[in-house]
Amino acid sequence: MRGWSLAGQMLVLQLLVVAVTVAGGAVLVLVQAREVLTEDAGRTASAVALSVAVSPDVLAALDEPDPSVRLQPYAERVRLATGVDFITIMRPDGTRYTHPNPAEIGKRFLGHTGRALAGETFTETYTGTLGASRRAVTPVVSDGRVRALVSAGITIDRISARLRDQLAWGALVIALALSLGAASTWLVTARLRRQTHGLGPIELGRIHEHHDAVLHAVREGLLLVGRDGTLTLCNDAARQLLGLPADAEGRHVGEMGLGELLTGAEERVHLVGDRVLAVNSAASRLGTVVTVRDHTELQALTGQLDAERGFADSLRSAAHEAANRLHTVITLVELGRTEQAVALGTAELRAAQELTDRVVGSVREPVLAALLLGKSAEAAERGAELVISQDSELDDPGLDPRELVTIVGNLIDNALDAAGRVEVRLRGGEEEVVIRVADDGPGPADLAAFEKGWTTKGDGHGLGLALVGQAVRRLGGSIEVAGSAFTVRLPVP
């Protein structure tokens, strides 16, 4: 059976089980039926023997010179009426008065009579002149003494004939039971064959081993959530990325705070702790298949690239503006308007230098100062206005410049995307740094923007404010939102 499918092996095994069960049941029924018929024959023989023993006709015949003359016809009438195979009336010494075969009259009775002579009625199985039979022997008592004995019985052959009659119906029942068992086994096997695709145990075991190896080898997190929201399967990567407990399988995802994360109908980016996770959900016949990919390193590289791109855009904007001014100055010189050319050039240089001096003078963190200058140029190119508050004052706070760039840069980008005028205020003290970015837009409608991927642009990124929240938490700070004003407080280390 090694080459058989699992369904085929199950069919054969179940048929064998059904056949053995039915055969065993049939044997038990046969033995029980034989015992019942034998006991029933004994009770019938006892009843007939007792009724004959107390019959007045029998007592009267015993007083005659030849009791057999009256007892033989009487015994035959009773035998035919009751259905027993023999009724033997005999002397206490066992000499027969009656017998179905008249030739046996006058001969000795074959069997035990001691208990009957003692006044007891008993039954036994014994082989006599008619073969093996179930018989009863009882005394005929008159005036306190045993005057004769009566034995009535049914042959084993007749009992067996009755048993065979019952076995015919039993065989029909057994055949029906086997048919029903085979049919139900076939139905179960057919369903099993469909579910196992006709594969054998070896193939199924190999598939399970491959499935288990692949499941735990991939770097992506894989989870299967049932239709009722129960987590039915997860691999090692999913446990690590999502911080799942050891007993996660079998628990409802809502109990572990993952209901929204694992039951969404689209691909989204989520922040879980310090990780940036791309979560994709797809419906299947068994529930929802969820894949989780760690985009933390990719997002960090993307953030660095965005920062570099921002600085490049700022330089490009500054170069573009400088080129426009230079062309204007050259044109004025060519037109002979030297004084106007000098005035325009010095005014533009003075404004740019004033902005640079003010930003560098008030923000003495060089990376953050460069970011603000770049964002100012970018805002000007986009037709927006980025204002650095006059009372901004921030020494180098000793905080990670990358975290500060993440916080300030994303807050400014978010404000520039939503409004035309943005005001930035930076204040540093001995205990904390306060960063305030406000715009003239409506502000965020959902404060959960700091907890997960969120955007009002519909571009599918939506990580700006979430990255701000993540960076603030890493620095041990807090965020306050009042309308379209964001205030970040960071403790000074």
C-alpha span between 189 and 213 (Å, rounded): 29
Q: Which of 97, 32, 30, 95 is nearest to 62 (CA)?
A: 97
* pLDDT over threshold 60, residue 2: no
Question: pLDDT-based confidence at 6, cuts 50/70/90?
Answer: low
Q: Look at residue 1 and tell me if it is in a domain.
A: no
C-alpha span between 248 and 321 (Å, rounded): 59
How far from the centroid of its chain's Cα atoms is residue 386's Cα?
Answer: 56
CATH of the domain at 332: 3.30.565.10
Whether residues 436 and 315 share a domain: the answer is: yes
Threshold 0.85, pTM exceeds: no
The number of folded domains in the chain is: 3
C-alpha span between 327 and 340 (Å, rounded): 13
* pLDDT over threshold 60, residue 297: yes
Question: How many residues in the chain?
Answer: 493
CATH of the domain at 75: 3.30.450.20
C-alpha span between 356 and 477 (Å, rounded): 29
Burial 423-452 (b: 16+ CB within 10 A, else e): bbbbebeeeebbbbbbbebeebeeeebbbb
Whether residues 359 and 470 share a domain: the answer is: yes
Q: pLDDT, tens digit, for every residue of 51-60?
A: 999 999 898 9
465 against 107, higher pLDDT: 107
Q: What are phi and psi of 126, to 5 degrees?
A: -150, 150
Whether residues 245 and 379 share a domain: the answer is: no
Q: Which of 74, 77, 144 is nearest to 89 (CA)?
A: 74
Question: pLDDT-based confidence at 38, cuts 50/70/90?
Answer: confident
120 against 383, higher pLDDT: 120
Provide the residue type at 309 as one letter: R
Whether residues 353 and 437 share a domain: the answer is: yes
Identify the pLDDT of residue 322: 66
Whether residues 252 and 391 share a domain: the answer is: no
Whether residues 481 and 352 share a domain: the answer is: yes
For the record, the structure tokens of 288 come out as 């929802």
Q: Which of 112-121, 275-284, 346-355, 384-393 has the lowest mean pLDDT?
A: 346-355
Whether residues 345 and 468 share a domain: the answer is: yes
The range of the structural domain enclosing residue 442 comes to 298-491
Parallel/antiparallel/unpaired status of strands 421-428 and 385-388: parallel
